[in-house]
Homo-oligomer: A and B are copies of this chain.
Amino acid sequence: MSFDILQEKIRKMKNPTVAGLDARLEYVPEHITKKYIDAYGETRKAAAEAIFEFNCGLMDALCDIVPAVKPQAAYYENLGWEGVEMLERTIRYAKEKGFYVIADIKRGDIGATASAYSEGWLGKSKIGSSMVSAFDADCVTLNGYMGSDAIKPFLKDAETYDKTAFVLVRTSNPSAIELQDMVAGDRLVYKVMAELVDQWGKTTQVGEYGYNRVGAVTGATYPSDLRLLRKMLPNTFFLVPGYGAQGGTAEDVHYAFDQYGRGAIVNSSRGIMCAWKKSDKNGADFGEAARNAAIEMRDAIKAVTPIL
């Protein structure tokens, strides 16, 4: 089962982290950007090619120590279709390099529309008599504000194609509380969402590690909620954003794991992508800097949470 594959990668590398591939052009070292702007002008094509080279360099530097990557769709869509084409190439390259690929799309729409999204991101579309895949990620992030109608079509493809999904429960941002911490009856809204995630998950296959196909996004920046959610959702894999730049620490994310250090993966995006900006080499060493940052993050988490 897909989450078993992820957990095995994590155990093998002793590293429960995922590298965000969320590059803005200003994160890309000048020598790369200049090459493509010289070739293509100040165009979306130039930006897309510069970011692709940067993404591939990051993945080359990280592939033996980081089990997963998480491209965020926004940082491709801002370059229009050229960005989206490059996202497809990034996902293909990531899979070739052995990464588990979490497409961070946070889609949430109903019925037939959710089915169409799912076809594009996890499944296949029917064209004539052929079944054709598009982005073909291992996993997506989803928004459940619209309820089951927005989630179930993805679960069908998840079973068919052995994929997984993380649903937003407790997000890591400051304004998360505006809706998610309203008291709904005797519970907070995000706990209602947690219960929905649990119900949706129970309709799917459970892997050997005890986790079903429906994970939860649970931010590192609310550690007491993490602890509570870990108890509440023993069969739910967690994707934990908010480490590093947003303020989450290794101590905070510790609560996301079960007693064997399993069942969670912690994201870092800028901390890894932009590590080269802390050296004075103008990004000539961006891969090495990313690798060192990833090792530092791994070791900080491992020091608090042994990965068994």
Contact = CB atoms under 8 A, between A and B. Distances in A.
Contact of A74 (B83, B107, B132, B180): B107
A145 interface: yes
A110 interface: yes
Contacts of A149: 173-176
Given A108-B143, A116-B24, A125 B79 contact: yes
Nearest to A86: B81
A247 to B, nearest CB: 13
A132 B44 contact: yes
Interface string A31-44: 00100010000111
B171 A120 contact: no
Number of copies: 2
Contacts of A128: 33, 37, 42, 46
- Using C-beta atoms within 8 Å of the partner chain, give the interface range for chain A: 35 or more
A25 B127 contact: yes
A302 interface: no
A155 to B, nearest CB: 13
A110 B94 CA distance: 25
Nearest to A130: B42
Contacts of A117: 74, 77-78
Contacts of A135: 77, 80
27 contacts: A22-B113, A25-B125, A37-B128, A42-B127, A42-B128, A44-B132, A72-B116, A74-B120, A77-B120, A78-B116, A78-B119, A78-B125, A79-B134, A80-B135, A81-B84, A81-B87, A106-B107, A108-B145, A110-B173, A147-B175, A147-B178, A147-B180, A149-B175, A150-B173, A178-B196, A184-B184, A184-B189
Given A147-B173, A147-B175, 16 more contacts: A24-B112, A25-B126, A44-B127, A72-B113, A74-B114, A78-B119, A78-B125, A81-B81, A81-B85, A83-B134, A84-B85, A146-B173, A148-B175, A178-B196, A179-B193, A179-B196
